[in-house]
Structure 1
Amino acid sequence: MRERIDSPANKKVKLAASLHSRKHREKEGLFIAEGIRLGEMAAAAGWDIVFGLYTTELGEQARGRQLLAQLEAQGCLLCETTAAVYRKASATDTPQGILLVMRQQKSRLQELPAAGKQPLYVVLDGVQDPGNAGTIIRTADAVGADGVILLKGSVDVFGDKTVRSTMGSLFHLPVCTDVTAEELMDFAAAQDLTLYATALDESAQPHFAQDFTRGTAIVFGNEGNGVSEAILQRAAKTYIPMYGRAESLNVGVSAAVVLYEAVRQRQSQYLPQ
């Protein structure tokens, strides 16, 4: 189904514009996925799309027409508008001409894979930068992690920049949000997980000296303060050795290094002998 919107005062345009605010996202339970690539991945994921807003120019492009046809076949309401009206709802500097208003889809810890499957979970403890959070979710997807857990105080996973930074990986794996440290501890104990926390500590061991082959949850902390003390007291501490003069690594880079060590260990049977 399609309709035409010509006024920036239209309720759908106003709703889309309001979702750039975390307060309104939480109130409505909605978020925005903007851009052709994200739109394609959202359509393929089967998440609930409330409506799409697109420009006339996008409908004149072959790739744009194909995406619109796919969305329309799935029963999505599509609203065509002018570039000027579209910009009222967009959050990007160079809009691609399509945004989808989508229903947030959150997982609960209890819905994650059952114990005994040697799962790998990625935990964000107070990570604040949307680009870092999105990059970590994307990396977790790339390594085949079983889920991402965001503790209370972490960035909003449904924020515009975070969603874009995931490059569609948000749609590929379970994401649990607003989890407390105690809930994480209980979950780790119930699933018999080894809980690791990245930390520069005298008792920490190098990441390549850890055993990531069993059920594992790896915690990556806040950009400035690291992992919270409540978790450090209960987790095995690990760090990435650095041999140059740099004092630290970006948390997104650190996550990639540690997670690919976990993959190396878990896929070691495929490595040349």
Structure 2
Amino acid sequence: MKNIQRITSAANPFVRLVSAVVHTQRRAAKEGLFTVEGLRIAEMAASSDWRIRHAFVTERALAGERTRALVELLVERGIPVALVSETIFSTLAETEHPQGIVLLAERRERGALDALAAGRSADEPPLYIALDRVQDPGNVGTILRTADAVGVTGVILLRGSADIYSGKVIRATMGSLFHVPFVTGVTAEELAGFAQKEDLQLLATACDETAETHFSMDFRRGTIVVFGNEANGVSEEILNASQHIYIPMRGSAESLNVATAVTAVLYEALRQRCWEGNP
């Protein structure tokens, strides 16, 4: 294919940069970069408005029809594409069985809650979810994917949550990272202030005597639902500022995985907003 550079040396500056981003979290954050690995996720990144710095592909991957179409799209966007050997590619990949395509993309600024509100649709009341120190990358990625499926207004990650740009989070989102508005690094105080300013009901998942079932909540109102850390739940600061909800269970399980809990609550919200009163 035309307009593809062939890189044959592992000492190439671009190869070394991507390798550093993949293997050194501090370097990745300092450079403001992250990698997107895998064909499906790379396709979604390429079709989004995110800025992509560079792409790397192997000869074997380029033999596939979908990969060729992706590379053509990248070239049309003016993104440099490099063909590398399997050996070099192994230094750029994080997965055990890579698919032969990696993108180097730019991180977005942490953003602001006000900007998140300004970008929302005016057609219906906002629905946000907030993650309070949810640290498992697989959970965070799965939650973003579910949030995308439901069409939430935005995802708010409080300080102490998993790095949204880690490879495990990105792969678990299956590309939803590039379509769901989000804000990171938010404090409990900022979250409570945002809820008050925007006149949003602030709900937090908790199992205590004051909690009500999530079925009893009116999710047709503007809402933020907070889900807590896998081991310790929602912080006291947020619990003191919120109404508590719980997901009822009939079996012997002590609790639900946080990603599963998010799914249960969001689909109840979706039901109320789109199907309540309809056959």
TM-score by length of 1: 0.96
Give per-residue Cα distances to partners, 1:194-238, cap 9 Å, x unaligned. 011111111100110111111000111101001111100001110
AA paired with 1:201?
Answer: D
The 5-angstrom pairing of residues 9-28 of structure 1 reads: 9-20=11-22, 21-28=24-31
Percent identity reads 49
Structure-to-structure mapping, 1:126-137, within 5 angstroms: 126-137=133-144
**1:131-157 C-alpha deviation (Å, 9 max, x unpaired):** 000010111111110000000000000
Could you tell me which residue of structure 2 aligns to residue 5 of structure 1?
A: 7
Asked whether 1:30 is paired with 2:33, we answer yes
Distance 1:95 1:184 in 2: 39
Q: Match for 1:90: what amino acid?
A: A
* TM-aligned CA deviation for residue 108 of structure 1: 2.0
Q: Does 1:208 align with 2:215?
A: yes
The alignment status of 1:152 with 2:154, answered yes or no, reads no
The answer for the alignment partner of 1:120 in structure 2 is 127
Q: Structure 2: where are the runs of 5+ without partners?
A: none
2:61: which partner in 1? 58
1:73 equivalent in alignment to 2:76: yes
Counterpart of 2:114 (choices 75, 93, 110) is 110
Deviates more, 1:98-107 or 1:27-36: 98-107
Cα deviation, residue 15, structure 1: 1.3
Residue matched to 1:182: 189
CA–CA separation in structure 1 for the residues paired with 2:49 and 2:199 = 32
How far apart in 1 are the matches of 2:219 and 2:183? 21
User: Is the Cα contact below 8 Å between 1:55 and 1:97 reproduced in 2?
Assistant: yes
**Cα distance in 1, alignment partners of residues 106 and 149 from structure 2:** 24
SS in 2 for 1:214: coil
Alpha carbons 1:22, 1:156 under 8 Å: kept: no
Contact 1:146 1:174 (C-alpha < 8 Å) held by counterparts:
yes
Q: Is the 8 A contact 1:181 1:231 kept in 2?
A: yes
Tell me which residue corresponds to 2:253: 246
Root mean square deviation, CA, Å? 1.3
1:2 Cα shift? 2.4
User: Where does residue 226 of structure 1 map in the other structure?
Assistant: 233
CA shift, 1:185, in A, is 1.0
Name the SS of the counterpart of 2:66 in structure 1. helix
State the shift of 1:13 in Å: 1.5
